[in-house]
Every structure is written in structure tokens, then in C-alpha cells.
Amino acid sequence: MSSLPINYKLTAFKTIVWKEVRRFLRIWVQTLVPPVITISLYFVIFGNLIGRRIGEMGGYTYMEFIVPGLIMMAVINNSYANVVSSFFSQKYQRSIEELLVSPVPNYVILSGFVLGGVARGLAIGVIATIISLFFSGLHMHNLLITLLVVLMSSIVFSLGGFINAIFANKFDDITIIPTFVLTPLIYLGGVFYSIELLPEFWRLVSQLNPIFYMVNAFRFGILGVSDVNVVFAFAMLVLFTVVLFVFSLFLLHRGKGLRH
Amino acid sequence: MTSAISITDLFKTYDNGFQALKGISLEVAEGDFFALLGANGAGKSTTIGVLSTLVRKTSGSVQVFGKNVDTNSYETKLELGVVPQEVNFNHFEKVFDIVVTQGGYYGLPVKLAKERAEKYLKQLGLWDKQNQQARNLSGGMKRRLLIARALVHEPRLLLLDEPTAGVDIELRRSTWEFLQEINRSGTTIILTTHYLEEAETLCRNIAMIDEGEIVVNTNMKDLLKTLHQERFVLDIRSELSSAPDLNGFDCQLVDPAMLEVTLDSDQDLNDVFAELQSLGIQVKSMRNKSNRLEQLFVSLLQKPEQKHEQNPVQKQEQLT
């Protein structure tokens, strides 16, 4: 079995990533502006107006408590949305064939799309952090943990978006999962509350939600408080990354929905 | 001479059970300009699809420049440029970016990809559109953009799946000239087309495919020699009420000032004029009734039962 020289692969990888970045910058009104407005509203309504009546949570003001969760929510949503919409629209327009007829290996294609999703997720994460500074001071308990968690969460949800796009046959299919699966998991993943507030049964149910671990590990990195063990949360993130990457690669090799 | 393409016993059955290819074997020499003709659904695009890896073969062997596409997929893909039947670029990307990006997929450094993009966009008359979104191009320009994109990595083999479909005659002819130039510079070209004039003008060798099987695979000149009859339309200066009796020739009156004469391959057009002159009929102008390859195409791909049902003229009208 032959293999391409490494410099070919690197060039192809950079080309895919730059194309993805160019895409979300070109349609910035659709990709960058809406999250800014949504996050600002969350900060104003939940953090400022309602939060003042809630008082402290986990030893911090309610505004300080929800900032990490809201940043993570923005990162997750945008990483997922970037890959699912970009890959599906390329599949729909058949412009993905440009890549499929080329010698670019499947793992380079997948990595390129994932890094494109991570780029948008992190860009929105930075914007959300800047907005949060207008409402709350910036805490940083552990920078390394914060960056690792946000990066790995972004990778996991970029892979999720990729798998959604592979299985999608029509535009409805790329909105069903975000609406009926992703959004409930985010809202029930401890963005707005500590699971200490929940009854025992719902506390156990929450622990089945992968986003719960990401939000809490990220909150630990920023505030130093978490409902879960951070090492366990990292282990979950690594597991999700590996499983989803291998499954995505398997789907690409099978040519599911791409080759006849 | 090395084979650019060597296909052996290629079968393809789609998931819905449709058998698109039934064991075709095909050799295309390096440097050739090769036509693959067939009716809709005959298997042309499936063959192109297997070569470009967008279609997975059921069985058989495919080699590109002597390398098996299954075991040397990266090397064989580097040799291929593909112009698909359907426009398949991102319509919101700029023309220049589409070509440069494709170069990146083939490992070209950005500087080289930009130089190549400029070169081919200029050659194909698209340079002044470089900063426009692809959706703003006309149909003909979109098809030429597909060609520029396929050439950016300068492949040794170019696969063209109906490259001039829907393109006006002027643009089509300039595209033909460009493709002939590319072929002269050493690029092997395999072309599928519905315009049989295109295949006759451009290609040196030809295969005809029907219901997943190769029915003809030969040299274009040899194929055209097998045409037994040729039909001419003559515009005459006087008006006639019935077809003149031209000794030994099949002559029909189409309208009072137009005759249609059929010549067998052993008959001479001079004799037709001599007969007409002897009857005092002067010819104003003359043209072929149809493209010669078109006549062959119809006769070769016609089913036995259809041969009894329809005359060749009816068939030609259906084809066009």
C-alpha cells in the first residue's frame, strides 16, 4: 500500500482548515453574530437580572457560576454547527467530491474538518469570554485545565457534527440532533445550576450526560469548583474523542452517503 | 506504448440491484484522445466514476498508468484530473479560490497553486472572473471552471464526463481547441459526450457502451469507414412536383425545392450531379443530412426489434 509524502498531507490539511475558516468568516453574520447576541442575553437576563435574586452558588455569585457554563455552551454549539453544516452542504452540493477524487487520506479530511469546527468554537469561546468581562471579573483557577477541557470538548462536538452530517440526507436531518438532543443535554448539563440542588435520582441521571462532565471540568479550571472529579472528566473526554474519531473514520472509509 | 487505462472484467452492481457494468474491458493508450459513447444509463458515467473512485466497483481490475487503483490509490489519484457531468463546486466560493483550493488538495504549495490557477483561468478565458463567486458564472463558464480545476495539478490523464453539455456552440468550439492543445502537450483524455460531432472531431479512438457492455472499441477512422450510406440534402433552384428519377440513386422530394439523396459507399457524388444536370436541375446548395458518427451510433446501438419498427431517419431525430 502506497502513501503520500508528509508535506503533501500537511498542505492538504492546511488547505481544508483554511477553507473551513474562510467559510465561517465569509458568512460571519450567520456564524459569529448570533452567538454574541444569545450569550449577551443570557448574561443580562439569567446572570444579572435573575441571578441577583438567586444569590450564591458553589461559593460564587450566580453570575460568576454560570459564566464557565455559558462559554462552554457556546463552544459546544458552534463547534458542532460548523462541521455539520459545512460538511453536509458540501455533500449536498457534491463539492465534497473535490476532496474524494483527490489523494487526501481520510484521516486528513476528518482532521481538517474537525480543526475547522474547533477554530469556530474557540473563536466564539474567546468572544463569549470577552463579553463576560462586562458582567463579571475573570477568574482563572488553572489555565492548563481550562484550555485542555475547552479544546477537547470542541473536538468531541466537531466529531459529533461530522457524524451527524454523514448520516444526514436532507437539511432537516442536521437540525434534529441539535434541537432534540444537544440543546436538552446542554441545559441539563449543569450550565445554570449545581447538581447538589437536584434530588438524588436526577443527580444520578445528570451523571449520564457527557456535557455535565465538560461543563464541570471547565468550571473547575476557571473557578476551582466542580460537581465531579476532574480526572474522571478528562478520562471521559479522551474516551469520547477516541471513539468518535474512530467511528467517523470508519464511516469515511465505508463511503457512507459519499461513494456509490 | 504504455496504457493510460487498463480495465479488465469490470462489473458494477448498485445497491438497488441495477447492474451498470457487465464485465467491460478497455485499454486506452497514453497520449490518446479517447471517446466513450453510449445512451443515457449505458454505463459511461459509472466507468468514469470507478476510475475516479467515486463509484466502488463490484469486481474487476482497474489500472492507471500500470498501477492498480486498489493498491496504489494515492499515486493513481495524483495522475487523474476529473471533470464531472454535474457542476460540483461550492457556488459561493470565488473562482480563483476554487482552483487554488483544489491545488492544495493535491499538495501544491500555495504559490504554485496560485500560478497554475492564473495560467489555466487565463487559458480558459475566466481570468477576469477570478474574484466573482462561482454562482455568478454562466453555464458555459462553470463548465470551463471545472476543467481549470481538474488541470491545476497537471494530471497525465484527464477524465471529461460530458464537458460541453449545455454550452453554446462558440464556447464549445473554443473548449475543443483548448482540449486539443492539452492533448497535444501529452495529456491523455477520455471523453464521454452526447455531442457525437464532438467525439468525431476530437477523438482518435472510440468505444461504444450499451447496457453495461462494450459493443464497439476501435479507431475512429476505421469506424467511420464502416458507414455504408450517407445522406445529402440538396436545395435546388427550380421547384418540382415529384422526385426526379436519378438512375441508381435513392432520391426523395422533401419539399418542392429540396431533395434528399442517399449514396451507398461505392457510389460517387459526381454521378448524382451529372444525373441532375441531365434533367436540367440546378443545385443551389448541399449539406449532410446528419453527422456520420451519429448514423453509426444509431445503427450499432439499435435493438433488433427496433430495426424493424423504425427507419434510420426517425431514429436520428430521436437521438438529437
**By mean pLDDT, which of A2-6, B50-54, B156-160, B227-231 is the weakest?**
B227-231
| Cell numbers linked to A38 | 444569545
**Interfacial residues of A (vs B; Cβ cutoff 8 Å):** 1-5, 7-9, 11-12, 14-16, 18-19, 22, 26, 89-90, 93-95, 97-105, 255, 259-260
A249 CB contacts (<8 Å, ≥6 apart)?
A106, A107, A110
**Interfacial residues of B (vs A; Cβ cutoff 8 Å):** 14-15, 49, 52-56, 71-75, 77-78, 80, 82, 84, 86, 88-92, 97, 101-102, 104-109, 149
Q: Residue B78 falls within a domain, yes or no?
A: yes
Q: Are residues B88 and B201 in the same domain?
A: yes
Q: Which domain holds residue B244?
A: 227-289
**Do residues B27 and B205 make contact, with C-beta atoms less than 8 angstroms apart?**
no
State residue A207 phi and psi, 5-degree precision: -75, -10
Q: Are residues B12 and B121 in the same domain?
A: yes
Better-scored residue on pLDDT, B266 or A93: A93
Average confidence (pLDDT) over A204-231:
84
Q: Are residues B54 and B103 in the same domain?
A: yes
Q: Are residues B114 and B245 in the same domain?
A: no
Q: What is the CATH number of the domain that holds B262?
A: 3.30.70.1560
Domain ranges of chain A: 6-254
B194: helix, strand or coil: coil
Give the separation between CA A33 and CA A144, rounded to whole angstroms.
28
Instruction: Look at A12 and B77 and tell me if their CB atoms are within 8 Å.
Output: no
Q: Is B2 exposed, middle or buried (0-12, 13-18, 19+ CB in 10 A)?
A: exposed
**By mean pLDDT, which of A127-136, B15-24, B249-258, B281-290 is the weakest?**
B281-290
Query: How many domains is chain B built from?
Result: 2
Q: Are residues B179 and B278 in the same domain?
A: no
Q: Are residues B102 and B137 in the same domain?
A: yes
CA distance B102 to chain A (A): 7
A6 CB contacts (<8 Å, ≥6 apart)?
none
Average pLDDT over chain B reads 84
Q: Residue B304 falls within a domain, yes or no?
A: no
Instruction: Look at B73 and A4 and tell me if their CB atoms are within 8 Å.
Output: no
Instruction: Look at A259 and B14 and tell me if their CB atoms are within 8 Å.
Output: no
DSSP state letter for B281: P
- Residue B296: the pLDDT is 67
Give tens-digit pLDDT for A40-56.
Answer: 898 888 777 887 787 77
Q: Could you tell me the pLDDT band of residue A24, with boundaries at 50, 70 and 90?
A: very high
Q: Are residues B116 and B198 in the same domain?
A: yes
Is pLDDT at A4 greater than 70 in this prediction? yes
Q: Are residues B216 and B256 in the same domain?
A: no
Give the separation between CA A152 and CA B13, rounded to whole angstroms.
42
Average confidence (pLDDT) over B158-171:
82
Phi-psi region of B280 (alpha: psi -120 to 50; beta: other; left: phi over 0): left
The position carrying cell 432537516 is A172
Q: Taking CB atoms and an 8 Å cutoff, what residues of chain A touch B15? A: 260
Q: What is the CATH number of the domain that holds B44?
A: 3.40.50.300
- Could you give the angle at the alpha carbon of B271 between the alpha carbons of B267 and B276, nearest 5°? 130
Q: Are residues B46 and B174 in the same domain?
A: yes
Q: Residue B41 falls within a domain, yes or no?
A: yes
Q: Are residues B239 and B194 in the same domain?
A: no
Q: Are residues B10 and B95 in the same domain?
A: yes
